Amino acid sequence: MKLPEKEQVLSNLSGFNVSEAEARQQEIYAAADSEIWRQAVYEPLHGGWDLACIAGRPFLNFIISDSALGPQSSVLELGSGAGAACDYLASSSNAAIVGIERNAAQCERARARRSDVRPGSLTFVCADASKWRASSPNFTCAYLLDTLSLVDDWDGMLSAARSALPEGQALYIADQCAGENIQADTLQRAYQLDGFLALRPAAHLREVLKNQRFGSVEQRDANADAIAAFSTMQAALGRLSATPASTIDPDVLAAWSELTDFYLAAFKNRELVYTRTKAW
């Protein structure tokens, strides 16, 4: 039986090599403290916080407000990278934050953070989050920030979140998904550029959440956030390119500009769609 056109496109995901994608992800994030990240992403998008993501502070501030985080709260991040989002949450809410990260180099960077948060409020565990499980469901909430699209095993990741949460406590997810106009060459290029191997439809996320016993799922289209983020990056890169005294290699600037133009067009065309999800 012939698959509908969109399903045929998405079936290409099964041909992506997980090891190759993870190697590409490690290569990218190994350079995430470089000058171009600071000037094109951290400063214009995130007020100087080294958040390697789209949603950033507005998403984290929503978690703080929605879950009423405070000194007695505990929060879990699955796929915590270099720990910037954990640091921001701890600094902004005084909650205790645990980050799970499979990349050993990223985990060490996270542990080396010089934060103003209270002692003991930041904990980083080097483990594959899709295989990690909480010893008891005692977290106030959990979240994934631009993580699922990089991970093949969604069931494992969301099972890990389920293991950490009492019934009724929220899991928050912000990520890019395959949009209604997705094309095979866009999936392939995103895989090659950034190691995205799981750009799946938002409806698939809702289904997996239901399978992992999250009885209620709210999801909203946040594509305007992605368009605004890449437009801001595009403007920042334009300013850097026009600055004669810039210390950033012109070839690096050109590659970043090409990448930014690609993602901006994909979100505008709704080949990719950014979503925010709350499940409990």
Question: Is the whole-model pTM more than 0.85?
Answer: yes
The structure tokens listed for 190 are: 């995103």
**Edge to edge, what strands does the sheet with 217-221 contain?**
122-126, 96-101, 74-78, 141-145, 171-178, 272-279, 217-221
Question: Helix 154-164 and helix 202-211: axis angle, to 10°?
Answer: 50
CB neighbours of 35 closer than 8 A, spacing ≥ 6? 247, 248
Q: How far apart are CA 17 and CA 22, in angstroms?
A: 9
At the top level of CATH, the class of 5-279 is alpha beta
For the chain, the structural domain boundaries read: 5-279
The pLDDT value given to residue 176: 98
Contact 53, 83 (CB under 8 A): no
List the chain pLDDT tens, one digit each, 280 residues. 333 455 545 555 556 899 999 889 989 988 888 999 999 999 999 999 999 999 999 999 999 999 999 999 999 999 999 999 999 999 999 999 999 999 999 999 999 887 677 778 999 999 999 999 999 999 999 999 999 999 999 999 999 999 999 999 999 999 999 999 999 999 999 999 999 999 999 999 999 999 999 999 999 999 999 999 999 999 999 999 998 877 899 999 999 999 999 999 999 999 999 999 999 9
Please count the other Cβ atoms lying within 10 Å of the Cβ belonging to residue 203: 11
